[in-house]
Amino acid sequence: MENIIQIDFADEMKNAYRDYAMSVIISRALPDVRDGLKPVQRRILYAMSELGLSPDKPHRKSARIVGDTMGKYHPHGDSSIYDALVHMTEDYSLSIPLVDGHGNFGSIDGDSAAAMRYTEARLSIGGKLMLENLEKGLVEFLPNFDESEKEPSVLPSMMPNLLINGTTGIAVGMATNIPPHNPSEVIDGVIAYMDRPGISTEKLMEYIPGPDFPTGGIIVNEEDMRSIYETGEGKIKIRGKVDIEKGDNGRQNIIISEIPYTVSGNKTKLVESFSALMKDKVFDEIYDVRDESSKEGIRIVIEVKKDRNIENLLNGLYKKTALEDTYSVNLLAVKNQQPITFHLKSLIEEFVAFQEELYTKEYEHLLQKAKQRVEIVEGLIRATDVIDLIIEILRGSSSVKQAKNCLIFGETAEIKFKSKDSEKQAKTLNFSERQADAILAMQLSKLIGLEIIKLHEENDTLLANIAEYQNILSSTKELHKVIKGRLREFKKLFSAPRKTMLTTATQQTYVEEIKEEDMYVLIDRFGYTKSLDAATYGRANEEALKDYPHIVSMKNTDKLCVFTADGNMHQVKGMAIPRCKLKDKGVLIHTLCKLDNDEVVQYISFEELFESMLFFITKKGFVKLVSGTEFETNRSTIAATKLEKEDHVLSVKFLSSHEVLSGDRRVFLHTKEGYSLVFDLEEVSELKRASRGVKGITLGAEDSIVCGAVLAPEDEIVRYRNKKLNVKKVRKTRRCAKGTKTKLT
């Protein structure tokens, strides 16, 4: 019988989720603080190194690289591995690309890379440097996922890759977002720290003033950088680089030559956002938008209409588009299998500590090799001095083992010598095993006088190297000299001027600049809406306008107010209503103000609404008067009236103050069961917008209002569903009465 282990479900879920979370954090999403690489990036570079794809070798198919990485080291999806490979080729994402791609690897516009079977890749110079000295045993090698291969736990990177290239990663409950920096500045900062380990963040920022994004741009909150570098967290505001040029026909052009790093690889969407703002009339100042970018660089042109305030328009673009964006900094990386939030100085400190470890191991390796070589060279030099004896030993020996034992231990038994003196001299030999092997493998050409001189010179050089290596290993100061010398070589190799400017700028408010003009909003019976300018509307004939039951005259700076049966009022900016030709269909009013499936009961311009009194009639017979000033708001949707359950607004009438105060206006209500009621408008009190109103007529349980109107003295006929009610036949009664049952005539 099998043993059954009882486990609490909640505990098992906690343990399983914790294991999963740590696996994502350590093995997938976050970079190691030492080499600045995520596991997938490290494995791709190592697989490329194993394939021999150095910068001086031909490119190899990306599919082969992905296959080797997935099969040997990273047993996850091939698409995620290829995405990581593509990212390491992007010069608009990394300060020093680690992979040299050949083929279509996407673009800054947002184009995706071609399939891995079409593209090719090899290590870039930067990628090769990440793997330098890997064969010297500087880092630990661990078994891969199935223990069939070995892979490095970290790459022996001798350049500060984490700060130079930055990284982004989302783990479980945490994320990292480290911006890229200028290689020269980072190296200068590292050297400054090595010279003065107690250096403050403020002093470090004299060397590393802030991130340097490959796409350039402008950091506009320079004053926040110190706090970000001291805490490891914060927000950077980035703007695109903008210049103003003269355009055609008296217009001026806004030229965007650098974009924020946050839209790197998504430039097309940025351009589309400018075009959308122009088409939707959000910015009336924009005449045209063009993307004139080429291989020479980015050039986005925004043509501005004549006599418009460009600075004001730029403030609007900064506010409403990604031309100004926020980059959230989080200097999170893995140290000793633990995720830690670092600050600028601690990141440099970790890098320097890693370099001390690497260079110590490197020089210990070099020292060991030099000592082994000195041993061999010294043996060869000694051998040349007694070469005749060695030849005699070789000729008199019956096997290599016999000759070797003689060279090492002086054993002469069974070796035939020409003389007793030679045998006696042979017994004094005491070469080491390594020296003996070298002597036995030595070519006769080494006996040439010039070759012997070279051996002596090599010996002198090796002894000098050994002394140098021992000096470096015995002094941290000397070790730092070597590290700084190598870093200065990297600086010369990757030196580039700073691309991202740092400044302090305040966010200015955008003042909407619209040229006021008359317009007409036309809504057909299906709700399709469009606007016409006054000239176009004036040329339209009556026959063409019959298709539009709702025509609202308003200014383009005004708002169209839409009242719905569910008791809400929606507002649509006049500039947001598409300007069309009369024959154009327009767009549904539902898309302009998110009406869903609500029934529209009335349209009016806000200017007319503000100067009016609104008379509401609901299906359950409630009526009220509300001042138009109650509806002044910046919100797109507000409640126009309070409704009881299953009640809805039947109609909204707009009256002037004169009509309300004249005392000659009457309210007419007609119900589904045929009852009608007329009473004076002055009997209805003015109420607040949020009120329900008062009962205008007493209804039966199944009855409801189907028709209502406010009548002027001269009004005689009210239309209801194309049938006529003779108002003279309706008995005038007091308000809230049941009414008189009348016949339709």
Q: Please name the amino acid found at residue 470.
A: Q
Q: What is the pairing mode between strands 218-219 and 501-502? A: parallel
Residue of 46, 82, 92, 118 marked active site: 118
In a 10 Å sphere around its CB, with 0-12 CB exposed, 13-18 middle and 19+ buried, how is residue 166 labelled? buried
In a 10 Å sphere around its CB, with 0-12 CB exposed, 13-18 middle and 19+ buried, how is residue 683 labelled? middle
What's CA 54's distance to the chain center, in Å? 31
Nearest residue to 719 via CA among 680, 745, 692:
745
Q: Quickly count: other Cβ atoms within 10 Å of residue 571's Cβ.
A: 21
Q: Which residues of 342-356 are buried (b: 16+ CB within 10 A; e: fewer)?
A: bbbbbbbbbbbebbe
Angle, vertex CA 512, rays to CA 509 and CA 516, nearest 5: 160
Tokens linked to 712: 């002027």
In Å, how far are 208, 327, 340, 342, 707 from 233, measured between CA atoms? 16, 11, 12, 9, 64
Question: Are the C-beta atoms of residues 214 and 93 closer than 8 Å to each other?
Answer: yes
Question: Are the C-beta atoms of residues 374 and 466 closer than 8 Å to each other?
Answer: yes
> SS3 for 647?
coil
Question: Are the C-beta atoms of residues 47 and 75 closer than 8 Å to each other?
Answer: no
Using CA atoms, how far apart are residues 542 and 537, in angstroms rounded to an integer?
Answer: 10
**Phi, psi angle pair for 535, to nearest 5°:** -65, -45
Question: Are the C-beta atoms of residues 140 and 354 closer than 8 Å to each other?
Answer: no
In a 10 Å sphere around its CB, with 0-12 CB exposed, 13-18 middle and 19+ buried, how is residue 489 labelled? middle
> Any idea of the CA torsion for 410, 415, 417, 421, to the nearest 10 degrees?
30
Active site residue 118: yes
In Å, how far are 27, 393, 406, 421, 441 from 411, measured between CA atoms? 59, 11, 4, 15, 20
Using CA atoms, how far apart are residues 79 and 182, in angstroms rounded to an integer?
Answer: 30
Q: Which residues are catalytic?
A: 118
